[in-house]
Structure 1
Amino acid sequence: MTFEIWTIYVATVFALMSTPGPSQLLMLSNSGAHGLRKSLLTAAGDLSANSLQMLAAGLGVAAILAMSAAALAVIKWIGVAYLIWLGIRMIRRAKLNAPRGDVPERSVSLRNLWVQGFLTSAANPKAVVFFAALFPQFISADHAFWPQFLILSATYIIMDGIFLSSYGAGASWIAARFKGAAKVWIERIGGSFMIVAAILLGLKSIARQ
């Protein structure tokens, strides 16, 4: 792989990530509600799904999955339903019933945060299309496969990690400055972000049909 091809790949990934999608909205939601440190598990789940998608693309499995409309539809709509359920639950739990207007910190399973990130990324049609159709185009048949694959994969993971962490840090910084009633509204907005993320996934799935 030449440096020129790598820079084109970086520009392509940057363009892909520049528009906020379901994963970024989920990161905003979890960071605002639970803080940056815990929400990094959401980013880890997202990146775990990306790693598997890249491996599948490198081995040619992604192209087969992309042609299996039924299998992809099941994965996508499970992700949509899961995010809607999480968003509604977060909105319903945000209540002004704590003494002196303080909202108690809600315990959250780190495993659940990871699963949220994983499912959202795995169900995102944009990611499926990118890894199935575009990712293999940057791997040259004239060079060894695994060094190219590792460079491209590491580049994507690092860039995506920076984007997600930036979104999370911004949301966490804003949420930390709100208390009482304002904190409740932060949680409600976070739940709404999850529902919007689910709607985006659903619309993208419909558009692909």
Structure 2
Amino acid sequence: MSLDIWLIYIATVFLFMITPGPSHLLMLSNSMTHGYKRSLATAAGDLSANALQMLAAGLGLAAILVASQDAMTIIKWLGVSYLVWMGVKMWRQADTVKSGQKAAGSASLKVLWAQGFITSAANPKAVVFFAALFPQFIDPNHAFWPQFLILSICYIIIDALFLNFYGASASWLSRRLKGHAKVLIHKIGAVFLVGAAIILSMKTLRDSA
């Protein structure tokens, strides 16, 4: 892989990341309500799912997922339902949040990691995306796996940077709001979760059309 091709790939991924997806909205929500440091578990869950999806693409499993449309659709709608359930639950809890209370204790790191993993895994077509994206930048005259590894690591690093940016920004805003504003932040977090579910559902409906 030449330097020029690698730079084009980096630019392509950055452009793809500019528009927030479900995982980024989830990161915003969890950082607002649980704090930036704890929200890193959510980012880790998202990146873990991405790593598995990339591996599946590299092993040629994309064709299997494409052939199994029913299974793919079920997984997607389960992910959508999970996000809606979390959003509704967070909205109902918002009025119980008082100034000075620590919201971080409401969810364990394991739960936050699972939220990130499930949200990312709810889009199994990501495997197809990686399977379609990576070959555009892989030189067939060189070994496949070293190039594939470089592309995967770069994607994960860029995604991690965006997740951290969204998380740090949301946490910075949350720390500066007190009293009733804390309740508002909790509700905004709930809206972000439902927004992530809407994005996933729109993608699912579009893919099913």
TM-score by shorter chain over 0.5: yes
Equivalent in the alignment of 2:67:
67
How high is the sequence identity, in percent, across the aligned residues? 62
Q: Are the structure 2 counterparts of residues 126 and 14 from structure 1 closer, same or farther at C-alpha, using a change threshold of 3 Å?
A: farther
Render the CA deviation track for 1:90-135: whole Å, top value 9, x for unaligned: 110111574xx54443421111111111111112367344213222
Q: Are the structure 2 counterparts of residues 64 and 125 from structure 1 closer, same or farther at C-alpha, using a change threshold of 3 Å?
A: closer
Structure 2: segments with no counterpart, 5+ residues: none
Judge which range, 178-187 or 133-142, deviates more.
133-142
Code of the aligned partner of 2:108: S
Structure 1: segments with no counterpart, 5+ residues: none
Give me the whole-angstrom Cα distance separating, in 2, the residues matched to 1:202 and 1:51: 23
Render the CA deviation track for 1:54-113: whole Å, top value 9, x for unaligned: 111111112321332112111111110000000000110111574xx5444342111111
Equivalent in the alignment of 1:155:
154
Deviation, structure 1 residue 43: 0.4
Equivalent in the alignment of 1:82:
82
Judge which range, 161-170 or 136-145, deviates more.
136-145
Give me the whole-angstrom Cα distance separating, in 2, the residues matched to 1:182 and 1:103: 13
- Are the counterparts in 2 of residues 32 and 171 from structure 1 also a CA contact under 8 Å? yes
Count of paired positions: 207
Give me the whole-angstrom Cα distance separating, in 1, the residues matched to 2:133 and 2:64: 14
- Are the counterparts in 1 of residues 31 and 167 from structure 2 also a CA contact under 8 Å? yes
Q: Are the structure 2 counterparts of residues 19 and 125 from structure 1 closer, same or farther at C-alpha, using a change threshold of 3 Å?
A: farther
Kindly report which structure 2 residues correspond to 1:18-167, keeping only aligned pairs within 5 A, or say none: 18-96=18-96, 98=98, 101-105=99-103, 106-124=105-123, 127-167=126-166
- Structural RMSD (CA): 1.6
Judge which range, 170-179 or 103-112, deviates more.
103-112
Equivalent in the alignment of 1:177:
176
Code of the aligned partner of 1:197: A
Give me the whole-angstrom Cα distance separating, in 1, the residues matched to 2:67 and 2:138: 21
Code of the aligned partner of 2:190: G
Q: Are the structure 2 counterparts of residues 196 and 89 from structure 1 closer, same or farther at C-alpha, using a change threshold of 3 Å?
A: same
Code of the aligned partner of 1:19: T
Q: Are the structure 2 counterparts of residues 207 and 128 from structure 1 closer, same or farther at C-alpha, using a change threshold of 3 Å?
A: farther
Q: Are the structure 2 counterparts of residues 136 and 60 from structure 1 closer, same or farther at C-alpha, using a change threshold of 3 Å?
A: farther
Code of the aligned partner of 1:65: L
Deviation, structure 1 residue 44: 0.4
Give me the whole-angstrom Cα distance separating, in 2, the residues matched to 1:126 and 1:75: 10
Q: Are the structure 2 counterparts of residues 200 and 27 from structure 1 closer, same or farther at C-alpha, using a change threshold of 3 Å?
A: same
User: TM-score, with normalisation over the residues of structure 1?
Assistant: 0.93
